[in-house]
Amino acid sequence: MRHKILVKAPALSRSGYGEQARFALRALQSREDIFDIYLINIPWGRTGLIVEDTPERQWMDQAILRTQQYVQNQGTFDISLQITIPNEFEKIAPINVGYTAGIETTRVAPHWIEKSNHLMDRLITISEHSKRVFESTTYKVTDQNTGQEVPDWGLQIPVEVVNYPVREATPEELTMEFSTSKNFLAVSQWGPRKNMENTILWFAQEFKDDADAGLVLKTSIASDSIRDRIYTTAKIEEILRNVPDRKCKIYLVHGEISSGHLTWLYQHPTMKALINLAHGEGYGLPLFEAAYNGLPLITLPWSGQMDFICKPNKKGKNFPRIIKVDYDINLVQKEAVWDGVVQADSMWAYAKESSYKRALKAAIDKEHHYKQEALSLQKHILENFTPEKMYSKFVDSLGIPTESASDNISTLRAALQNIESPKDRALATQTAMEGLSLQTEKLELLKDLYKGEKCYILSCGPTLTEHDSEKLKSLLSDTLVVSVKQAYDLFAGLTDFHVYNCANYKKYDYATRRPIVMEASTTPFKLGECDLKFFIRERNFDNSVSEKKNFDDWTLEKQSLLRPYGPGIMYEAVFYLLEHLGVSEVITVGWDNKLISDDAAQQHFYDMEGSEYTKTDFIHNNEVAANPAAAATLSHEEKITLDVTKDWYKWLSGIGCELKIASRLNPAYNKIERVEI
């Protein structure tokens, strides 16, 4: 059963809650087998909107429109997921879940508790700090029905914690230069909680005589506007007037920048540490991002960041791997009180000036030590805060049953194995998979389903269309066929499995014959209609399976949601699918594994000069040739994918699968048998 879930959130906002909303949507999309997702976008203060035309933005726009139409037709929902502060909670479905960043202080407002108890079935928050504050806050109240005093009135619904996952981005250089070589970074919107005034003032005082020290501020008061930049600059200059003879530099990065630009800042060779002196954090996304980029952190060991700045020591005790700033806990400032949100009787942390200045000095004097600590923390985060783990944890935290519709996978597989025709077996398998909720169950059903059988792989190289078409179709008519990407369009009626990714993507039409569809892409959400969805997190050639040759680590049994970086779909998905199905002989047709020309736009059967096909019929978006960065790496990709063909051949042979190639172009390992169609 698929649950209709309405997500009400600032999904299009460039804000912390916007990031939270998009994470939740990605998590739900990872289980579209059990969730039918609807979306209502809500505004979030004066924050800007994400404007990049990405597949994710397109999906959200479509979901918003679909929801409007569904609501106008009196449609109802099974679950609501409301991503906002508790003041805004509503009862709009039979089951209502509040997903809130929580609180950065030591107490939540009574209105939050009242709204949560009366309107929500459960809460999800982003850190153990927020959960602890929600659960420990109590008030003395009087029951209006009985007149009795209740001394410890508090939250009465369950609270779950789900941290953010890692979201690695390729560095994009900003058009700015640093004249200083000892730089520090602070990333924050300016406000009473963020303590930016002391961050700047105390830095300027500590480095007033050091012309080689710089503080890079990615900040704004309220928006990304030119007026806001002028106001922000004036605020900084006002603070710096207290240190009139300073030699250190202050740099301002203002306005909209991409995650790639932030990554460039985190990884900049002159950057010594990220600074965060906030009085409290619900989680602390910039701290988290800096940490998984290997940048040392100067911060307080308190509030939301404790979930990720700590790493177990040799005795198993969690220990903060940061350049520590000592602090006191005191009442929030009067100017920070926000009635109904930040209580006047709540408390938060105040960084100690002397400790902060010592931390700044230590970041330079003990640079090597703290860099090693940062790299150790980075490794810990990259291993434990993966998207797959956090998506799964988020889905579980909703408290919605996700059990499989099948009680006995092995019985179902045995029945499928009794179907003699590979074609009929594939059709019956696809139908059976529709009744399974979990991807692990679908993979269990597929395991060794074609044990000892022959398989053809149809790929998109120019030689795909050079063979006798009728003879090839005859060979495919009673044999297992895996079509790669656009090869499906030429052999739709004969394809049993279809494998595609996000490169040169198109929306495929499966009206002719519904194959079993496998997607392996760098997007965490589904691009198209598929039965198996895998995420490719890695994009570094040095970490590719071609370079590491760790083939055994990436079987579908061992990695049920993640695929390696090949590069190339054959190494990322297709060969592993063959291993999982148990085939004993595979013949590739159209796998040419060779750059045909220097033009990246002429590498496939549909885009070669003189081709009878129109390329725009075969690619809808994310064309590799249109991406200069991707096109520039094609020759390197060709070399490493060719060099590893010997290793792949031996690995496949070792598991009982004989690889053969039908291509006049493929320069793969010479012991791989070449065949004619």
| 549 and 486 assigned to the same domain | yes
Last residue of a domain, one of 396, 427, 449: 449
Q: Are residue 318 and residue 192 in the same domain, yes or no?
A: yes
Tell me, what's the pLDDT at 49? 86
Q: Are residue 414 and residue 528 in the same domain, yes or no?
A: no
Query: Residue 275's beta-bridge partner residues?
Result: 298
Q: Are residues 415 and 544 in the same domain?
A: no
- Indicate whether 280 belongs to any domain: yes
Enter the DSSP assignment of 573.
I
Prior bond of 515 cis (ω within 30°):
no
Place 1 in a pLDDT band, splitting at 50, 70 and 90. low
Q: What is d(CA 414, CA 33) in angstroms, rounded to the nearest whole number?
A: 24
- Residue 188 lies inside a defined structural domain of this protein: yes
CA angle 230, 231, 235 (to 5 degrees): 120
How many angstroms separate the CA atoms of 269 and 261, rounded?
A: 14
Which of 556, 444, 558, 565 lies closest to 502, judged by CA? 565
pLDDT above 90 covers a percentage of the chain that reads: 75
| 461, 431: one domain | no
**252 and 236 in contact (C-beta within 8 Å)?**
yes
Q: Flag whether 443 is in a domain.
A: yes
Res 463: pLDDT: 94
Three-state DSSP class for residue 577: helix
- Residues pairing with 648 in the sheet: none
Q: What is residue 16's three-state secondary structure?
A: helix
Residue 393 lies in a domain: no
Which of 177, 132, 170 is CA-nearest to residue 154? 132
Residues 103 and 36 in one domain: yes
Partners of 298 in beta bridges: 275, 323
Q: What token pair was written down for 249?
A: 């530099």
**What pLDDT, in 10s, does the model give residues 335-381?**
889 888 888 999 999 999 999 999 999 999 999 999 999 999 999 99
- Domain ranges, residue 657: 450-674
What total of structural domains would you count in the chain?
A: 4
**Among 55-64, 332-341, 433-442, which range has the highest average pLDDT?**
55-64
pLDDT digits (tens, 9 = 90+) for 467-478: 999 999 999 999
Question: Could you tell me if residue 167 is inside a domain?
Answer: no
* Residue 400 domain-assigned (yes or no): no
Q: Which of 243, 228, 234 is nearest to 189 (CA)?
A: 228
Contact 102, 116 (CB under 8 A): no
Is residue 79 situated within a structural domain? yes
Same domain for 421 and 323: no
Summarised one tens digit per residue, pLDDT across range 408-421 is 688 899 999 999 99
- Residue 175 covered by a domain: no
Residues 246, 204 contacting (CB under 8 angstroms): yes
Same domain, 507 and 555: yes
pLDDT for 180 beyond 70: yes
Residues 544 and 596 in one domain: yes
Which of the pair, 394 or 34, is modelled with greater confidence?
394
Same domain, 428 and 488: no
Q: What is the 3-state secondary structure (H, E, C) of 368-404?
A: HHHHHHHHHHHHHHHHHCCHHHHHHHHHHHCCCCCCC
Is 438 in the same domain as 455?
no
- Mean pLDDT calculated for residue range 538-542: 85
Paired tokens of 285: 């996304």
Tokens of 455: 């398989």
Rounding to the nearest 10 degrees, give the CA dihedral for residues 72, 76, 79, 84. 30
Burial of 654 per CB tally in 10 Å (0-12, 13-18, 19+):
exposed
Reduce the DSSP state of residue 104 to 3 states and report it: coil
Residue 538: the pLDDT is 82
- The residue type found at 303 is S
| Interhelix angle 367-384/285-292, nearest 10 degrees | 100
Residues 442, 456 within the same domain: no
Q: Note the pLDDT tens digit of each residue in 117-153.
A: 999 999 999 999 999 999 999 998 876 766 778 788 8
CA–CA distance, 211 with 180 (Å, rounded to integer): 7
Rounded CA separation 358/328 (Å)? 16
| pTM for the model | 0.65
Enclosing H/E stretch for 457: strand 454-458
